[in-house]
Every structure is written in structure tokens, then in C-alpha cells.
Amino acid sequence: MLLMSLITMITLSLSLLIMMLSSILSKKTTSDREKNSPFECGFDPKSKSRIPFSIRFFLIAVIFLIFDVEIALMLPMILILSISNIKIWFILSLYFILILLMGLYYEWKFGALNWL
């Protein structure tokens, strides 16, 4: 037990010594504005934060997320094809795809997919 605590103390003190030496000897003399600022998805964080944001871009992103989740829901349908009743599987798959197509038509009809 004494040997274990001695090894722990030596390891901690050696680690602390190395961290202190590296912080003292490091070259942090140059300060770059871009490197010191946080990354915010391409937006300049030094400018005002209330810049106008395109609502069309937001709608396209939401539509992408919805269809991405729907694709993730459709993938297990292929796996259960071999263990399920083919008629029920076909009706449920057709119903699910029909709902997706109706949603896509609705978004297309009301101009959510038009960028201009």
C-alpha cells in the first residue's frame, strides 16, 4: 500500500512539473485575432450578433433534417422484409412513402423549395 501511494505521488509530481515547464517555455508571444476567437460556423464573432439570417436557408435545413430522419426510419423496413407478412409490409411501406410524397408536394406547391 505504501509503495502504491509513493508511485502515485511521484507520478503526480512529475506530471505537474512537466506541465509547469511546458507552460513556461511555450512560445505564446504572438496573438492572432482569428486563432483567439471562437469558431461560429463561418460568422465573424467580432461583428454585431443580430445580423439578418435567410429564412429560406433555415427552411431548407429543416426540410433536410425531416427527410434525413425519414430515411433513417425507412432503413429498418428493408431488414424486416424477410420476417414479416409481405402484404402487410407492402401496405405499410406504401402508406409511409405516400405520406412523404404528399409532404414533398405540399412544400413544393407553397414554394418552400424555391430559393429565389
Query: What confidence score (pLDDT) does residue 22 get?
Result: 86
Per-residue pLDDT tens for 46-73?
Answer: 566 566 767 777 778 888 888 888 888 8
Q: What is the pTM of this model?
A: 0.46
Per-residue pLDDT tens for 6-18?
Answer: 999 999 999 999 9
Per-residue pLDDT tens for 68-101?
Answer: 888 888 888 888 888 889 899 889 889 988 988 8
**CA 114 – CA 41 distance, rounded (Å):** 24
Per-residue pLDDT tens for 25-36?
Answer: 876 656 666 666
Cβ neighbours, 10 Å, residue 92:
14
CB 99 within 8 A of CB 77: no
Query: What confidence score (pLDDT) does residue 9 get?
Result: 94
Chain centroid to CA 103 = 24
N-terminal to C-terminal alpha carbon distance within the chain: 73
- Length of the chain equals 116
CB 112 within 8 A of CB 82: no
